[in-house]
Amino acid sequence: MRFRDRVVIITGASRGIGKAAAFRFAEEGAKVVVAARTETTGIVPGTIYETVEEIKQKGGEALAVKVDVGIKQDIDNMAKQAVEHFGRIDVLVNNAAAFPSKPYTKFPDPDEEEWDRLMNINLKGYYLCTFAVIPFMKAQGKGKIVNISSDAVFSADPYRVHYLTTKMGQIGFTRGMARELAEYGININAVTPGFTAVERSLKTFPKEMEDRIVGGQAIKRREQASDLAGPILFLASDDADFITGQTLNVNGGQNYI
Ligand SMILES: NC(=O)c1ccc[n+]([C@@H]2O[C@H](COP(=O)([O-])OP(=O)(O)OC[C@H]3O[C@@H](n4cnc5c(N)ncnc54)[C@H](OP(=O)(O)O)[C@@H]3O)[C@@H](O)[C@H]2O)c1
């Protein structure tokens, strides 16, 4: 129970990697703020309400908060709700992302709207969420921030230059912020997943590309969302108190930093 009574915010926790991490934090005693845009209000698959319901059914504590990480007001409300309901914020996992609208096609030249959409969610979103929690972590003298980037930045897959730019930017943000936050007892690190089998990626990744990636891994099986939970929890735990500004590459040995 490494996270007993700790409060963890995870953006993009209605599906995929964020949801898997939310479950694991709850299992380890955390009170989890499950955040995403979720349009509906019902307990429907792929929503924050479903994640929260599943956590509660297993005896955990969680709160659903509707947030678009492209909107500062939503983000400030997310931090406020976390503190109002659970009294503190110990961990932020910046995970919600925007993805290319036409994956694996040459980037249209120029498509400012598409470029801005990814920059806004993946860079400004991480920055705004981070700054929304800093005052609470500072007041506590301790906090952990984990930024989910991508191992695609190390192999520079073709035809998604805007996505790669944001994902590399998240690593730069992590390193820069580590220098700013250490004096307040706040650690900030990045995790770079490899190709991970979630509903969205299975729909958008061409099968031959997936086979090539898995074939190039040292561990020759598909990466699952649950494979990321352990590394995320480690970086969010007291065991990582002397680690900051780092990137943990979690991809079955597909590429190396
Ligand atoms: N899966 C992979 O192969 C892979 C590989 C490398 C890195 N990653 C990284 O891992 C992270 C999670 O990816 P995933 O594959 O688990 O994604 P996913 O299954 O598509 O889930 C994305 C999550 O983000 C939420 N979201 C999207 N836009 C949002 C916004 N503007 N505001 C708030 N929430 C938003 C979605 O919910 P709503 O749509 O309801 O808002 C959903 O909960 C991302 O940072 C991604 O870049 C994934």
Query: 36 in a domain, yes or no?
Result: yes
pLDDT in tens, 165-213: 999 999 999 999 999 999 999 999 999 999 999 999 999 888 998 999 9
pLDDT cut 90: percent of the chain above it: 89
Domain around 39? 7-250
Query: 12 in a domain, yes or no?
Result: yes
The single residue of 104, 127, 159, 163 carrying the catalytic annotation is 163
Query: 1 in a domain, yes or no?
Result: no
> Mean per-residue pLDDT for 73-98?
98
Query: Between 59 and 108, where is the model more confident?
Result: 59
Atom number of ligand 1 nearest to Cα 151:
6
Query: 255 in a domain, yes or no?
Result: no
Q: For 186-250, give the secondary structure using H, E and C.
A: EEEEEEEECCEECHHHHHHCCHHHHHHHHHHCCCCCCEECHHHHHHHHHHHCHHHCCCCCCEEEE
* 126 carries an active-site annotation: no
> Mean per-residue pLDDT for 11-26?
98
Element spanning 32, H or E = strand 31-36
- Ligand 1 midpoint to CA 18 (Å): 7
Question: Above 80 in pLDDT, residue 216?
Answer: yes
Residues 6+ apart with CB under 8 A from 91: 3, 6, 7, 8, 9, 25, 30, 143, 144, 145, 146, 236
Query: 80 in a domain, yes or no?
Result: yes
CATH of the domain at 214: 3.40.50.720
Query: 257 in a domain, yes or no?
Result: no
Global pTM?
0.98
Query: 199 in a domain, yes or no?
Result: yes
Q: What is the pLDDT of residue 185?
A: 98
- Ligand 1 midpoint to CA 215 (Å): 24
CA separation for the pair 97, 118 (Å, rounded): 8
Task: From 15, 41, 123, give the residue whose CB has the most ligand 1 atoms within 8 Å, as the site to mutate.
Answer: 15
- Ligand 1 midpoint to CA 205 (Å): 15
Question: What is the domain count for the chain?
Answer: 1
Q: What is the pLDDT of residue 69?
A: 98
Task: From 14, 41, 154, 165, give the residue whose CB has the most ligand 1 atoms within 8 Å, as the site to mutate.
Answer: 14
**Whose Cα sits closest to atom 8 in ligand 1?**
150
SS3 content of the chain, % helix, strand, coil (to 5): 50, 15, 35
What's the number of CA atoms in the CB half-sphere (13 Å) around residue 125? Answer: 30
Q: What is the pLDDT of residue 205?
A: 86
Tokens of 50: 């479903």
Distance of CA 199 to the CA centre of its chain: 16
> Mean per-residue pLDDT for 105-113?
83
Q: Is 182 helix (H, G, I), strand (E, B) or coil?
A: helix
> Mean per-residue pLDDT for 214-238?
98
Query: 43 in a domain, yes or no?
Result: yes
Question: Above 90 in pLDDT, residue 157?
Answer: no
Least Cα distance to 99 among 24, 199, 216 occurs for 199
